[in-house]
Amino acid sequence: MQSSTPAGRAGRPRSAAADTAILAATREALVDLGWSKLTLGDVAMRAGVAKTTLYRRWSGKNELVVDAVAELFDQLRLPDRGTLAADIEGVVLQFAAILARPEAKSGLMAVVAESTRDDALRERIRASIVDRQKRLVVEGRARAQARGELPPETDPAEAARTADLIFDVVAGAVVHRTLVSAEPADEEWVRGFTRVLLHGLASAA
């Protein structure tokens, strides 16, 4: 993350516990206050840490929230449910469950909004959150190919483009359903969505 101190240099080393406490406090504050009313002073207090300690490690609210939210998405796992459709449904449901949590809702969209004016922030979001989710698409496809549900890809560039499209559609639809339409992305919805997605991809190939 930030600390690490490669080859033990001079001075007191940074407290590893502080990082953990700060990120947890950030999520707690997101739940209680939401992004716009979250203040770094409050987070520091909740974490039992001085404001300076926080600023020493993160340059601002956006960066902190990205890291705090990123940890939530690290829980995502690709389940092995036997079929491609079931695997997708499983991972989408997990994604929806995370997005239903107030700390994710509040934080994620806000930093995405901020990232429209801050390239470094967008890059951080991509590295910390998006790319870690994208692996699920690739893994899922590989598993389906192993099962014989999908043919092996012939054109790698085309495969990458399709993976990106899938990712935009899945993540976008779940986010929009959850945040804008404010309806739950429950099993029924996920089943309908997955069916459309898979048929669309199969027929359009």
Answer yes or no whether residue 46 interacts with DNA by CB under 7 A: no
Residue 113, token pair as written in the block: 């909004």
Helices 61-73 and 102-115 sit at what angle, rounded to 10 degrees? 130
Total of chain residues touching DNA, rule CB under 7 A: 30
CA distance linking residue 76 with residue 90, whole number of Å = 10
Residues 127, 21, 29: CA angle, nearest 5 degrees: 80
Binding mask 50-89 for DNA (x = CB under 7 A): xxxx-xxx--xx----------------------------
Amino acid occupying residue 33: L
* Of 21-29, 82-90, 143-151, 195-203: span binding a copy of itself (CB under 8 A): 195-203
Report the partner that residue 102 touches, choosing among DNA, a copy of itself, none (CB closer than 5 to 8 A by kind): a copy of itself
- Please report whether residue 56 would count as binding a copy of itself according to CB under 8 A: no
176 binds a copy of itself (CB under 8 A): yes
Return the one option of DNA, a copy of itself, none that residue 42 interacts with (CB less than 5 to 8 A, by type): DNA
Q: Give least dist CB 183 to a copy of itself, A.
A: 8
Interacting positions 18-37 with a copy of itself (CB under 8 A)? 34-36
Rounded Cα distance, 91 and 132, in Å: 13
**What length is written for the chain?**
205
CB of 118 to DNA, least distance (A): 11
Dig out the tokens for 191 from the structure: 């089943």
Cα–Cα distance measured from residue 95 to residue 72, given in angstroms and rounded to the nearest whole number: 10
In the complex with a copy of itself, the residue whose CB is nearer, 98 or 174, is 174
Between CA 77 and CA 3 the distance in angstroms is 27
Residue with Cβ nearer DNA (4 or 203)? 4
**Residue 197: is it exposed, middle or buried by C-beta count within 10 angstroms (0-12/13-18/19+)?**
middle
- Contacts with DNA, 12-41, as mask; x by CB under 7 A: xxxx--x------------------xxxxx
